[in-house]
């Protein structure tokens, strides 16, 4: 498998996680084991699942872990909305984080679709692996 750090989708997911950690520093202390923990775990799970999928050595495992990452991105989307509605995130910060989360979801969706495409006869003849072809298409 390819190095996950070379995937643009992983890079954006990592940037999202850093932004979420920065935004949640100001959350109430009473939420440290509640919403703060949940939102941070959901965001870090996106990039972590992409990385784990890359390390398992098969397209099927990578696809499975990207689908799990998509679930975490959707969970994060809800936690961002809840944080805004509770007044923990300003509308501007919410919009910035939500836009980045949507971008990551779109990138993941594209990546998952590419992973579902059958290996072509040309790839078979050239010995090109699905992993390198897909990952190369999504690098930044």
- Residue 123, C-beta contacts closer than 8 angstroms, at least 6 positions apart: 129, 130, 133
Q: How far apart are CA 90 and CA 105, in angstroms?
A: 22
Q: In total, how many domains does the chain have?
A: 1
Q: For 56, phi and psi rounded to 5 degrees?
A: -90, -10
pLDDT tens per residue, range 18-32: 999 999 999 999 999
CATH code of the domain in which 33 resides: 1.20.1440.60
Alpha carbon distance, N-terminus to C-terminus of the chain: 17
Could you tell me the residue range of the domain that residue 133 belongs to? 4-137
pLDDT tens per residue, range 67-90: 999 999 999 999 999 999 999 999
Mean pLDDT of the chain: 88
């Amino acid at each position: 498998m390819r190095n996950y750090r070379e995937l643009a989708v992983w890079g954006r997911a990592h940037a999202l996680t850093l932004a979420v950690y920065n935004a949640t520093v100001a959350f109430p202390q009473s939420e440290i084991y509640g919403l703060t923990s949940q939102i941070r775990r959901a965001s870090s799970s996106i990039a972590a699942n992409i990385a784990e999928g890359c390390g398992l050595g098969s397209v099927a495992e990578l696809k499975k872990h990207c689908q799990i990452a998509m679930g975490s991105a959707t969970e994060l989307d809800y936690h961002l909305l809840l944080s805004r509605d509770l007044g923990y995130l300003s509308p501007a910060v919410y919009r910035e984080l939500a836009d980045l989360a949507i971008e990551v979801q779109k990138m993941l969706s594209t990546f998952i679709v590419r992973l579902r495409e059958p290996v072509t006869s040309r790839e078979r003849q050239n010995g090109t692996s699905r992993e390198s072809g897909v990952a190369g298409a999504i690098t930044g």
